[in-house]
A and B are shown apart, each in its own frame.
Chain A
Amino acid sequence: MTPHEQYADDLALLALGALEGTEREQLELHLESCAACRNELAQLRRDAGLLALSSATQRPSEAARKQFLHAIAAEPRRIRKSSKVRWWSRGAVATTAALLVSTGLLWRNNTQLTQALKSAEDELRSTQAELKSKEQLVSMLTAPDTVQMLLTNAPAVKQPQARVVYHKDTGRLLLLANNLSPIPQDKTYELWLLPEDGGAPVPAGLFKPDAEGYSTLVNENLKPGVAPKAFAVTIEPVAGSSTPTMPIVLVTQS
């Protein structure tokens, strides 16, 4: 399918943002019903994008670089609090609405529908519990007194690396790891909290990498109030251990 020749020049102008007035309105109307011209417009935008590369003759100041690095350090992670919470809130509202409708039907129906009500209630409880858990996690991630510690065994690009986000007062913890080596089926990685007071290492959760070496661990059941000196990772039997088995494969950077 080829684009309409009578629109060819105007499509090029539209791709550059240079078309205006009635010609633009007519073309946009045409695009609503013409896939070939939409495809051509997308291609022309890619062609136009190449023009941007023709002007690489300047470099920004070093101050701009420092400002940028400072800015990303101030935003240590893109926590999608608003969208996530809204999504789950919408989910909860939708589930609640569905439950109310189901309840109305159940009043005039039989035991089969009673079972459906129970199922819907279970779903609602599950959704609410999940919502609460995620809200708590978001709250922990965004609390000003939550600390983050980076675990790594070397600064090289492809070395295994993990980031721990831990809130002492609630005992909640999140670990994000990447470039992890594959691990045998009968083994697991285990995270340890090394207490600041020199106490025994505290098991903080088990995790395994996916095929690309990524892993995520959420632990909301650590004993609250334990101040960490560091975090470390060891390889343990698949059920985990109560004390770490040497060697330590990842440890918090000093």
Chain B
Amino acid sequence: MSGEPKSHPANESELVARIHAGDEQAMAAVYDVYSGVVYSVAFRVLQNATEAEDVLQDVFLQLWRNPSAFDSARGQLAPWLAAIARNRSIDLLRRRKPEDDISDYVIAAGPPHDQAVNSELMISRVRSTIDKMPAEQRKLLEMAYFEGLTHSEISARTGEPLGTVKTRIRSGLMLLRKQFGS
């Protein structure tokens, strides 16, 4: 089954406002749309369904308890939730206590790249951009982002010089930025 959002909510800020008011139906609607994205990120990092579902629960419960952490003016829910899931998963992967409060992600993880595009389109564009990257560059980004490896560890695993690892990772992020026009 696809993990992409089933449908894009007409107004995310309205849904979040309803969550603010304690509307469980609105919270369920957000879960239904974005649980696939959140779970997929967690599973990709952890490679374990049980742990990925633990992260899934954690991410959405944090939104339920503290919806004001999400600022719709700064970006869309999908990348914001996905980035939280990634960070929580890396924390779990490293078997360390989560360090970040959900509020810390307001600026760090909600790309206001293009308010007009919906989440499905954004996912498609991200995949397309990453697919077009050279395989070596894509691998380095994935090792850093999804495996939580440091640049030294990546260099040791790939045999690439540290400088090359650094430069390729940065240029990969720049390519994403360029594609999303920010």
Interface residues of A (CB under 8 A from B): 8-13, 15-21, 42-61, 64-65, 67-69, 71-73, 75-78, 155, 161, 163, 176, 178, 214
CA distance A90 to B60 in the complex (A): 31
Verify B111–A10 contact, CB threshold 8 A: no
Chain A residues, Cβ within 8 Å of B60? 68
Contact A18 B154 (CB under 8 A): yes
Q: Is the CB of B52 within 8 A of A60?
A: yes
16 example contacts (A-B, Cβ-Cβ < 8 A) are as follows A17-B148, A42-B108, A47-B176, A50-B113, A51-B145, A52-B37, A52-B86, A52-B145, A56-B37, A56-B41, A58-B52, A60-B56, A65-B35, A75-B61, A75-B64, A178-B17
1/0 contact trace for B116-134 toward A, CB 8 Å? Answer: 0001001100110010000
Residues of A within 8 A of B31 (CB): 65, 68-69
CA distance A178 to B149 in the complex (A): 47
Q: Is the CB of A59 within 8 A of B1?
A: yes
Residues of A with C-beta under 8 A to B150: 18-20
Q: A46-B113, A47-B174, A163-B22 are in contact. List 13 more A-B contacts (CB 8 A).
A: A13-B144, A17-B144, A45-B107, A46-B111, A52-B82, A56-B2, A60-B36, A65-B31, A68-B57, A75-B64, A75-B65, A178-B21, A214-B21
CA distance A43 to B113 in the complex (A): 10
Contact B41 A64 (CB under 8 A): no
B70 contacts A by Cβ under 8 Å: no
Hey, which chain A residues are within 8 Å of B152, CB to CB? 20-21
CB of A64 within 8 A of CB of B56, answer: yes
User: By the criterion of a CB under 8 Å from any partner CB, how many residues of chain B are at the interface?
Assistant: 78
Which single member of A13, A61, A178 contacts B166 (CB below 8 Å)? A13
Contacts of B126 in A (CB 8 A): 50-51, 53-54
A176 to B127, CA, bound (A): 42
CB distance from A157 to the nearest CB of B (A): 8
Contacts of B176 in A (CB 8 A): 47, 50-51
A-B interface contact total, Cβ < 8 Å: 194
User: Which residue of chain B has the shortest Cβ distance to A15 in the bound complex?
Assistant: B173
In the complex, what residue of chain A is closest to B80 when comparing beta carbons?
A: A49
- Give the chain A neighbours of B163 by CB distance below 8 A: 9
* Cα–Cα, bound, A50→B57 (Å): 21
> Nearest 9 pairs between A and B by C-beta?
A52-B82, A12-B170, A9-B166, A46-B111, A49-B83, A60-B39, A18-B144, A55-B44, A16-B144
**Which among A55, A75, A176 is the interface contact of B146 at CB below 8 angstroms?**
A55
- With A54-B126, A65-B31 as known contacts, state yes or no: A49 contacts B82, CB within 8 Å: yes
Nearest CB in chain B: distance from A185 CB, A: 25
| Contact digits for B166-180, partner A, Cβ 8 Å, 1 yes 0 no | 110110011011001
Chain B residue with minimal CB distance to A45? B108
Q: Which of chain B's residues have a CB closer than 8 A to the CB of A214?
A: 21
Q: Which of A17, A57, A68 contacts B2 (CB 8 A)?
A: A57
